[in-house]
Structure formats: C-alpha cells, structure tokens
Amino acid sequence: MGRSLARLFVERGDWLVLLGRDEEELQRSVADLTARAPAGVRVSHARCDLEHPETFGPALATAEQQLDSVDTVVVTAGAFATQAQLEADPALTQKVLTVDFANTVLFCEAARKLLLSRGGGTLCAFSSVAGDRARKPVVLYGAAKAGLSAYLEGLDHTYRAQGLNTVCVKPGFVKTGMTEGLKPPPFAGEPDEVAQVVLRGIDAGTPVVYAPPIWRAVMTAIRALPRFAMRRIGF
C-alpha cells in the first residue's frame, strides 16, 4: 500500500523521502519512483526502523533536509501475525504490540512535533479495521490497532485547530505481502485501489479513512452487534 501511495504522490509532482529499514529495497523503490516522476521531482530515502526508535529523529531530520520543508508524513509500516502465531510465541507478540502501538506512537509524536514546528501539515498513519471492535481472530493485533486509532483520534481533537490534520487510515483486508497465504474475505481490496482512497483522504484532511470504503459500513454493523453475538461468531 505504501508503494502504491508513493507512486501516486510522485506522479502528480510531489517530492518524497522514503523511510525504511532495508537499504536495497529503498534504493529499488527510489529508482522506480524516479522513473515515474515528472522532471524536477526529487525522490530520496533515509533509514528508519519501527523496531528502533533511535532511528526516528535522524530519519525525519534527513527528510526535512532533503525536502527543504516537510508538510506531510505518512506511516504505512507495521507488523502482523495471526492470533494463533501470537498466542504460541510471546516474543512475536511483544514485537507486534511494540511496533504497531508503542513505537508507531513514538514515531508519530516525533512527526507531530516537526510538523507543528513548521506551522502544521498532515500526519497520516495506517491503523486497521481490526481495531474497531474486539474480535476472536485478531485479539492481540486488534488491541494494538485499537490503541493506535485512539491515539490518532486524540491528536485530531487536540491539534487540528493548530494546523495539524491527522488522518487515520483503517484498511480492511488488502491483498499485500503481509496477508499472503491468508484466505481473502469478501470486500478484499487491492493496494492501488486503497492508495487512491487514501490519497483523497490525505488531500481532504479526512480524520478517518476506511479503505476500501465499504468497510465503514461493515464495521458499523460489527460494532452494533451485542457481546453475546460476538462470542458466537468467528469473524
């Protein structure tokens, strides 16, 4: 989803700094985006790893230096494992909970401070529909995403009047490397489709973006189910 969104950004002329932990992958992505970009568009990269908060400040500083000024920060990275995998591996559970909640919040805090110091901007972070309602298949992963969604909502309440637009993206099931091997449910999305929806949300400063959009209706129905019903279903 991040790659698809980056392509939309550069194709319309936005300058980008990609943040990630894999140097070779970053270089390949920069080459791909540079080939797609109009003349004069700048695309570069910096190392940033959500497992290592000490990389956050230097990465954002590099981005600001490369771009002259940062007006939008998008966080698409995260960790995922099935409920069964997490229950069987406490170390993996700690990693997923830390990366998807604590460290993502720490990165967003650094980005928030940077953007507000420049008069505002847009902070967009990918949460998940898994955080909308506690469900059997995503007890642990969903808990991390529920915390992230609550944090992003709090930022929106607190800082929008100061010029910070916080956009919380809640994808449903999307066919990416993260979900490879899992059976797609109804309404499964494609990365390019999701990226189009997210870009519109970023441009509009929409506080919550469901992608594909039908997941807003799906999760509204799920949230309305009584607890006894949620105990009986496997969704």
Asked if the model's pLDDT at residue 47 lies above 70, the reply is: yes
Between 69-78, 138-147, 190-199, the lowest mean confidence (pLDDT) is in 190-199
pLDDT for res 136:
95
The two tokens of residue 55 are 């990389």
Q: For the segment 129-142, what is each residue's pLDDT rounded down to a tens digit?
A: 999 999 999 999 99
* Contact call for residues 235 and 135 (beta carbons, < 8 A): yes
**Residue 17's pLDDT band (cuts 50, 70, 90):** very high
Cα–Cα distance, 189 to 178 (Å, whole number): 13
Angle (deg, nearest 10), helices 104-117 and 56-67: 40
Domains delineated in the chain: 70-232 (3.40.50.720)
Look at residue 10 and tell me whether its pLDDT is greater than 70: yes
Confidence band of 106 (pLDDT split at 50, 70, 90): very high
Higher pLDDT, 106 or 182: 106
| Stretch among 32-46, 164-178, 197-211 having the lowest mean pLDDT | 164-178
Tell me, what's the pLDDT at 172? 82
- The secondary structure of residue 68, as a DSSP letter, is S
Q: Mean pLDDT over residues 109-136, rounded? A: 97
| Res 192 pLDDT > 90 | no
Q: Which of 199, 195, 110 is nearest to 155 (CA)?
A: 110
Distance separating alpha carbons of residues 128 and 125, to the nearest angstrom: 10
Which of 7-16, 152-161, 185-194 comes out lowest in average pLDDT?
A: 185-194
pLDDT tens-digit map of 132-187: 999 999 999 999 999 999 999 999 999 999 999 999 999 987 756 555 556 666 66
pLDDT score, position 211:
92
The answer to whether 197 touches 211, Cβ cutoff 8 Å, is yes
**Amino acid 175: pLDDT:** 59
Beta strand 121-126 pairing with 164-171? parallel
Token pair 């990609």 in the structure block, residue: 18
What average pLDDT does the chain have? 93
Listed residue (69, 48, 185, 191) closest to 120, CA to CA: 69
The amino acid present at 120, given as its one-letter code, is: G
DSSP one-letter string for 190-226: -HHHHHHHHHHHHHHT-SEEEESTHHHHHHHHHHHS-
pTM: 0.92
SS (H, E, C) 142-176: HHHHHHHHHHHHHHHHHHHHHCEEEEEEEECCECC
